[in-house]
Amino acid sequence: MKRKLIAAIGVATMIVGIAACGSDKKDDNKAGDGGKTSAATASSITVWLTVDAQHNWPELVKAADDAIVAKHPGLKVKHEYYAWPDKNAKLDAVLATDKAPDVVEMGNSEMVPYMAEGAFAELDTSKFDNSGAWLDALKQSVSYDGKTYGVPYYAAARIATWRKDIAAAAGVTAAPKNWTELTADLDKIQAKEGPKFNAWYQPSRDWYAGLSFVYDAGGAIAKQDGGQWKGSLESPEAIKGLTAWKDAVGKYMHGDLTKDESDRYIVYGQGKSAMIYAPGWEAPSAADPKFDKTGGKIKDNLVNFVMPGPSGKALPVFLGGSDLAVPSKSKNADLASEWINDFTNTQAQTTLMSKGNLPNNNTQLATLKADPASAVTATAAEVSWFVPTAPGWGTVEKAQTMQTMLQDIATGKKSVEQAAKDADAAMDKVLNVKN
C-alpha cells in the first residue's frame, strides 16, 4: 500500500445529504444488535473498500466472503473499490439516497464528522475479535460521544530514518536512543555537511510531526470541558512542545519552510538530507531508482529507529490507518457486522501483518516487536495520539489550521505564543459545530 495515502488522509467535507441521512437518535440501528433485514432473508450485502485491498490482499477479501457465505448459504457479497481521492464524494452522494452500502472503508481521521452526523450505525464491540486490545489511537478514531461506530482495520506509524553513510562521515556510528543523542548527532552531521544541507529534512507544514511534539510535552490540540471542545495549544505544555519543534526545524531544516511533506521522499532521494521522520514507506521509496539521485547510495545505507522526543521518551506518533463502518441506512447491519469481523479477526490481522501493515490490536503488535524487520515500526506505534473527536474537526482540517500555525512559527512570521493563540481562536469557532 502507498503509505502516503494513509498519511495524507484528511477529514472529508460533508455535503448536503449527510445531515438528512442521519437522525439525532443514533441508536436506531445498532449493528450486531438488530439490523433492518434479518440475516435469514437477506440475499446480498455490498462492501466498499479502497483499491488497496483489491490490489494488495485480495485473498483476505475472499476469505471474509467465504466465511460469511459458509454461515449464510446463498448470500452474495458485492464489492466496489474506490481510490482514496474519489471515495468520500461518492459516499456522501449515496448516503443521501436509499442505496447505501452495508460496509464502507474510511481513513481513520475521516470518521469524526460522519459519526457526529449519525451517518454510521453504532456497533457492539463484543462482536469483534480483539476489541478489548485495539490500539489506543485507532479506538479513539471509531469512538464518538461514548459510543463505537467503526472497527479498526489496520494501521501505519511514523519512524525516523537516516543514512548511516552520512552519519559515519560525521563520526556517528550508532543510531541515537534519546533526544540528547539525536541532537548531538545531528549537530555533527550538520557541521560536516555544511549550512545548506538538511541534517533533518522536516517540512514545516507536516502537522503530523509538529503536533507530535505537543503531545510529547503533555499538551493536546484541543480538550473537552463541560461537553464543549476548546483549543488548548496555548497551554504551557503545548507551547513547550511547539518551541522544541521550532528549535529543531530551525537548526536542521534548511529547505523551503513553506512546503508540506508530499514530496519529502523525492527530496530525500536527491541526497539533500541525512534524516527524515515519516511513514515507513518513504525512505524505501527514495531508494527507488526513479528517485535515487545519489548513484544508488541510499538503498544500502538506510537505518530506521524509533524517534525520540525531548521528553526523554519515544515521540508519540499520529497513528494513521483505516476503519470499517456500517452506514446507518444499511438494510443488512447484522450481516455487515459479521463480515467486518471476518475481515478483521485475528487471522485476518495476521494476513495484513504479512503485507507490511500494523495490526489493529496490541496483542498482535507485540509479536512484531520480536521481528527485527518490523520492531521499529511496532515499537513506535505503542505511543500514539489522535485528532480531537470534536464534531467540527473536519472544518479545522479543511482550513489547514495546524499547517498554517506551524508554517507561521517556522518562518518567523509569528511567535510560538501568537501562532498558538490564533490557532486556538480559529478552532474555537468551529470545533463544536457539526459540519
CA angle 261, 264, 269 (to 5 degrees): 175
Give the predicted TM-score (pTM) of the model.
0.80
Tell me: do 401 and 411 sit in the same domain: yes
Per-residue pLDDT band at 136 (split at 50, 70, 90):
confident
Same domain, 88 and 100: yes
Is there a single domain that holds both residue 265 and residue 396?
A: yes
| Three-state SS at 254 | coil
What's the structural domain count of the chain?
A: 2
179 and 84, same structural domain?
Answer: no
- With beta carbons less than 8 A apart as the criterion, state whether 163 and 269 touch: no
Q: Is residue 138 part of a domain?
A: yes
**How much is the pLDDT for 231?**
98
Strands (E), 38-177: 44-50, 76-82, 103-107, 143-144, 147-148, 151-156, 158-163
The better pLDDT of the pair 413, 393 is held by 413
Q: How confident is the model at residue 30 (pLDDT cuts 50, 70, 90)?
A: low
Mean pLDDT of 49-66: 94
Could you tell me if 260 and 344 lie in one domain?
no
- Tell whether 254 and 302 lie within a shared domain: yes
Question: How long, in residues, is the chain?
Answer: 435
Same domain for 360 and 265? no
Tally Cβ neighbours within 10 Å of residue 139. Answer: 19
Mean pLDDT over each residue of the chain, to the nearest integer: 90
For 99, the domain range is 3-157+319-385
> Can you point out the beta strands (E) in 193-349?
198-200, 222-225, 228-231, 273-279, 302-305, 317-318, 320-325
Q: What is the pLDDT of residues 307-359, one digit of tens each?
A: 999 999 999 999 888 999 999 999 999 999 999 999 999 999 999 998 878 99
Do both 142 and 66 map to the same domain? yes
CATH of the domain at 226: 3.40.190.10
- Checking if the pLDDT of 6 tops 70, the result is no
pLDDT tens column, 67-94? 999 999 999 999 999 988 788 889 999 9
Q: Are residues 299 and 227 in the same domain?
A: yes
Phi, psi torsion values for 160, nearest 5 degrees: -95, 140
For 151, other C-beta atoms within 10 Å of its C-beta total 28
Cα 344–Cα 378–Cα 311 angle in degrees, nearest 5 = 130
